[in-house]
Amino acid sequence: MSFIERLFGSGKKDPTPDIPFGRYTDAYKTDAQQALFDRSLELFDQGNYLDAYREFLTYLKDEHTDNISWREENGEIHFEFWQGSQRITGRANTEKVKVESKIARTDDLNVGFLRRLMEANFNLKFSRFALDEENSIAILFDTNTTDGSPLKLLYALRELAIHADKQDDLLLDEFKVLRPAQERTYGDIPEAEKEVKYNYLRREIERVFAEIDKGKPDPNQYPGTYAYLYLALAFKLDYLIRPEGFMMDALERVHGIYFAKNDRSPQVKITHIRKEYQKLLERPREAFFHEMYRTRSTFGINPAVNHDTIVGLIEGELQNMEWPLQQNYEALALAVPQYIACFALFHYAPPKPDRELFHLLLQILEPGFFRELGFSIPYSEPGGPFNKTAILKGIKNIADQNRLQFPLLKPDAGRLDFASPVLFAKSYLLMIKELNLSKDV
């Protein structure tokens, strides 16, 4: 039974669920939005500060979500915007700009979290953590208006917002003397959706553990091969489940452990990575459910990249699937293209055609998960072969929807190999690699 059926019962045609995937990005600004930012810089240079800030706030507004609002009162602009679960408030006038977000409250000035925040302040360029008169932990930014150009505000507000959103769940989870400073009033999701995501999380971790525990090939002899399995899992879970708090931090630690430049051997690194996944398996179900909710954001974490970056990623990594493929270790071979697609979605804001094609690949390779959430996934029958016609139609739809911006976008679907999931994934990435995303005809 699908997620939608569990919610509303069967007998009606299921609508497409409104479930977002992946990390929020603000990289896809339109030309009109960019013109607003350019106009705000011009107005600021002319000394029209409040007019400049109005244009700047309009530039930050996401047309797809209610992420920012403002009002004017007595010659002052009062604004608020959202980053994840955090509400950030600010005010601007002709003399000063001040922005803050409350992170947590405390009745006990515990040395542990105070030290954590002091250390964090050393890494902040524009903002700072502080305690207010009510013993609330807040992150602040202020500047004289004459020094507060929209460009400076863009960097400062991004830094403040991202750190506010990251630290609230982590501090509350680690330091029990803290309590929330803001009650979350937005983003509740149905229990059925949480259940699907939780079960998928456990199932996928246990599947990877079982693959490694086979010992063929020997993980100690081929740690790099198994690293693809672990890292593809982390990036895939991050994209599909869109976690907050502890789980999001755990998946980032998996990445950090493997790519850390230290004297640990690859064998030791994958051992430490397994421990991180084991922590997720041992974490109470209720703790996961508490951290599953929708968010609104204003700033993306991932940098925008061009298609050449995606090409370089595919060229640099795809060759590493050849050995496990030749040795018939199909699960290990398939981890490489999954790693490439999900690495790009985890680290970057790729061009829209690349992002949408990577998402389609995950729908093709993970149809059960999407169906449990209520999506109609025609790309294969459960346990059956690929539906070639549906896959080619999905690729064509993406190309058609993006061709106005990318007139030379013509995926060569004729090169796709439908013989097996691993051969399909390999040929699919080679198709993406050959795309022409030039905007010049």
Please indicate, yes or no, if residue 213 is contained in any of the structural domains: yes
pLDDT confidence bin for 2, thresholds 50/70/90: very low
Inter-helix orientation angle 330-347/223-241, to 10°: 50
Q: Which region, left, alpha or beta, applies to residue 260 given φ > 0 means left and ψ of -120 to 50 means alpha?
A: beta
pLDDT confidence bin for 12, thresholds 50/70/90: very low
Predicted confidence (pLDDT) per residue in 316-341, tens digit: 999 999 999 999 999 999 999 999 99
**To the nearest whole number, what is the mean pLDDT of the chain?**
90
Res 8 pLDDT > 50: no
pLDDT confidence bin for 109, thresholds 50/70/90: confident
State the Cα–Cα distance between residues 168 and 289, nearest whole angstrom: 17
What mean pLDDT do residues 29-36 have?
92
Predicted confidence (pLDDT) per residue in 363-372, tens digit: 999 999 999 9
pLDDT confidence bin for 6, thresholds 50/70/90: very low
Residue in 337, 361, 350 with CA at minimum distance from that of residue 307 = 350
The reported pLDDT for the residue numbered 85 is: 83
State the Cα–Cα distance between residues 259 and 380, nearest whole angstrom: 35
pLDDT confidence bin for 14, thresholds 50/70/90: low
Please indicate, yes or no, if residue 198 is contained in any of the structural domains: yes
The reported pLDDT for the residue numbered 246 is: 85
Q: Quick one: what percent of the chain has pLDDT higher than 70? A: 95
Of the listed ranges 86-100, 166-180, 425-439, the least confidently predicted one is 166-180
| Helices marked H in 242-294 | 245-259, 266-282, 285-290
Of the listed ranges 2-11, 194-203, 340-349, 377-386, the least confidently predicted one is 2-11
The DSSP secondary-structure symbol of 209 reads: H
- How many independent structural domains does the chain possess? 1
Per the structure, the complete domain to which residue 419 belongs is given by 191-433
Q: Quick one: what percent of the chain has pLDDT higher than 90? A: 69
The reported pLDDT for the residue numbered 441 is: 63
Please indicate, yes or no, if residue 81 is contained in any of the structural domains: no
Predicted confidence (pLDDT) per residue in 266-289, tens digit: 899 999 999 999 999 999 999 999
pLDDT confidence bin for 29, thresholds 50/70/90: confident
The reported pLDDT for the residue numbered 63 is: 85
From residue 162, give the alpha-carbon distance in Å to each of 167, 235, 302.
9, 19, 11
Please indicate, yes or no, if residue 306 is contained in any of the structural domains: yes
DSSP collapsed to 3 states, 180-203? ECCCCCCCCCCHHHHHHHHHHHHH
Res 160 pLDDT > 90: yes
Residue in 195, 142, 138, 194 with CA at minimum distance from that of residue 163 = 138
Please indicate, yes or no, if residue 388 is contained in any of the structural domains: yes
Please indicate, yes or no, if residue 18 is contained in any of the structural domains: no
Res 243 pLDDT > 80: yes
State the pTM of this model.
0.86
The reported pLDDT for the residue numbered 9 is: 44
Handedness of CA 319, 324, 326, 329 (dihedral sign): negative
Highest mean pLDDT among 131-135, 173-177, 367-371: 367-371
Inter-helix orientation angle 223-241/245-259, to 10°: 150
The reported pLDDT for the residue numbered 116 is: 80
The reported pLDDT for the residue numbered 7 is: 44
Of the listed ranges 31-35, 172-176, 324-328, 420-424, the least confidently predicted one is 172-176
Please indicate, yes or no, if residue 49 is contained in any of the structural domains: no
Please indicate, yes or no, if residue 178 is contained in any of the structural domains: no
State the chain's maximal CA–CA distance in angstroms. Answer: 73
Res 142 pLDDT > 80: yes
